[in-house]
Structure 1
Amino acid sequence: MGSLRGHFPFFFVVVLVLSSNHILVDAHNDSTTRVELEADFKVIAELAGNTAIPNTDFKSLAKLSLTNAIASCNAIHSHINSLLKISNSYTGRCLTGCSTNYEDAVGLITKSLAALEARDYVEAKALISDALANATKCEDRFQELLQLNSPFILMKAKFGRLCLIGIKHINRLVRKERLITEGCSHTLDKELCKSSVEFFLENKGLSLQGLAKLAVEKTLQDCTKIHNHISVLLKTSSDECLLKKLRSCSGHYQTAIAKIRDSLPALECKRYGDARAWVGAAIDWAETCEGVIAGKSNTKSPLTPLKTDFNRQAALALSVIYKLAGN
């Protein structure tokens, strides 16, 4: 898609920000707010077009490296257990300790993947380092007791490289996220700014039509996720009042899902007015559910966190559709 700098009209950012932030809707026509929104737009466009911020998916690369590190570690552990069957007492003593070391290392790398998914990057790197330390303990044991390298030192080197590559990608991910976070720090909707920039960076190779389709498909996924969560709550909740409201919401989200699905062929046929109307209708149905749950007692909705993600994704989808329509 190339640089996004200077390619988006002001109305694009108004939709991008206001679609998911109802607090700002009343201020839409206020001149001061319009200036602030235009500034937000410039931030998003400049960040997305900033060559200093790579569009590489470092998280996926880190996960791939760590997954391969687990496979490598398991291979070493299996090899150690095979050697234990034919070893003498001294070698067996080393191998027994190494078996424990590599078993622990597998557990640590597995935990690091969970930490990475939770965006706890400090913990992820610490766990990887601990796994590497376990592998080093094994080698140290061979040197101390036998003054020899272990018979799997080359396998250990491969495991170490994979771990270090994982750490390298995590560090790059941290730098990328910091640049985006700092860039979005003065915008009105910081989370929407960050998700928008990340979306554009990750999909620079797509045409605007492709971006719109992907954004709508992700909106559909988020909407379906909420509906599935409602289904779980209907089976697990014992609050009859909440259950009644959730049954209504289940129907509302079924309608929302249908509307988003309808928008995809409309988008394909370049009926952009219909596409954005149906995505907008899905947002309205989600809002209706929130109102149903809140009721007169202003009950806190268990769906709000998921709905916030849905709103942001829907806002992004609408913004790209508006751009496609030439607005």
Structure 2
Amino acid sequence: MRFTLSLVLLLLFLFQCSSNDSNLIPQSCKEASNSSPTLNYDICVSTLEANISKKNPPTKFEDLVGISIEITKTNGTNIIANILKLLNNQTFSQYTKACLKDCSSLYEYSISTLNDAIVAFKSKDFDTANLKLSAALDTSVTCEDQFKLKNGEVSLLTKENNVYFQLNAISLAFVNKFNQ
């Protein structure tokens, strides 16, 4: 009888632990989206779930912060690669190419800023991490605005800028939980 009771309690504990782990992403994204009007809950959940190892899932919220920043850095690196491909297109105007070059510089700086944010977060310097993530968040907006300065010019990076903005918003909302 005693063995059975111990076994049942152990199984309940294990079920509760695995249940908490499986709720980490949705719960964290729900809290983050409630605190940030620019953050989309569905994008938060789908992005994190698609990029997290099933073999070694995060067990605590702090892990999600680092993961979200790394996802953002990877996305920024991919945007730079896309910009470099676009710059090889000879049909674009000089103005469009100048915008693309500016955006490439912005994204390169942003990735450096995200590296600084990771260092600050790991050092528990949440104010600096917040500042760095806020600066990285501005990258996509500034890039998009480059194209709008000339009438009739259409951004070639609107989709990428919007995704990058959302990824930064996730990281920023997560870090802001530590400033409360």
TM-score, normalized by length of structure 2? 0.72
Matched, 1:197 2:51: no
Q: 1:326 to 1:201 in 2, by over 3 A?
A: farther
Larger radius of gyration: 1
> Are 1:305 and 2:159 matched, yes or no?
yes
Which of 67, 73, 76 in structure 2 is aligned with 1:223?
76
> What is the distance in 2 between the residues matched to 1:252 and 1:326?
27
Map Cα deviations across residues 269-309 of structure 1 (whole Å, 9 max, x no partner).
11111112111101212211111112131522111111121
Point out where structure 1 has 5 or more consecutive residues left out of the alignment.
21-191
Distance 2:109 2:65 in 1: 21
Asked whether the equivalents of residues 212 and 317 of structure 1 are also in contact (C-alpha less than 8 Å), the reply is yes
Q: Contact 2:65–2:175 at 8 Å: present in 1 too?
A: yes
Corresponding residue of 1:234? 87
Percent of pairs with identical residues: 21
Query: How far apart are the structure 2 equivalents of 1:16 and 1:273?
Result: 17
Aligned to 2:176: 322
Q: How does 1:7-18 map to 2 (within 5 A)?
A: 12-18=32-38
Which residue is equivalent to 2:106? 252
CA contact (8 A) 1:15 1:318 kept: no
How large is the RMSD of aligned CA atoms in angstroms? 2.6
Change (3 A) 1:266 1:235: same
Secondary structure of 2:128's counterpart equals helix
The residue aligned with 2:144 is: 290
- Shift in alpha-carbon separation, 1:295–1:237, aligned structure 2, 3 A: farther
State how far apart, in whole Å, the 2-side matches of 1:194 and 1:315 are.
13
Matched, 1:209 2:69: no
Match of 1:106 in 2: none
CA distance in 2, matches of 1:274, 1:237: 41
What is the CA–CA distance in structure 2 between the aligned matches of 1:249 and 1:205, rounded to whole Å?
33
Q: What SS does structure 2 have at the residue aligned with 1:236?
A: coil
> Are the equivalent residues in 1 in contact too, given 2:127–2:179 (CA < 8 A)?
no
Q: Tell me the distance in 2 between the aligned counterparts of 1:225 and 1:15.
A: 28
Paired amino acid for 2:158: T
What is the rounded CA distance, in whole Å, between the counterparts of 1:200 and 1:242 in structure 2? 33
Is 1:268 paired with 2:122? yes
1:40 match: none
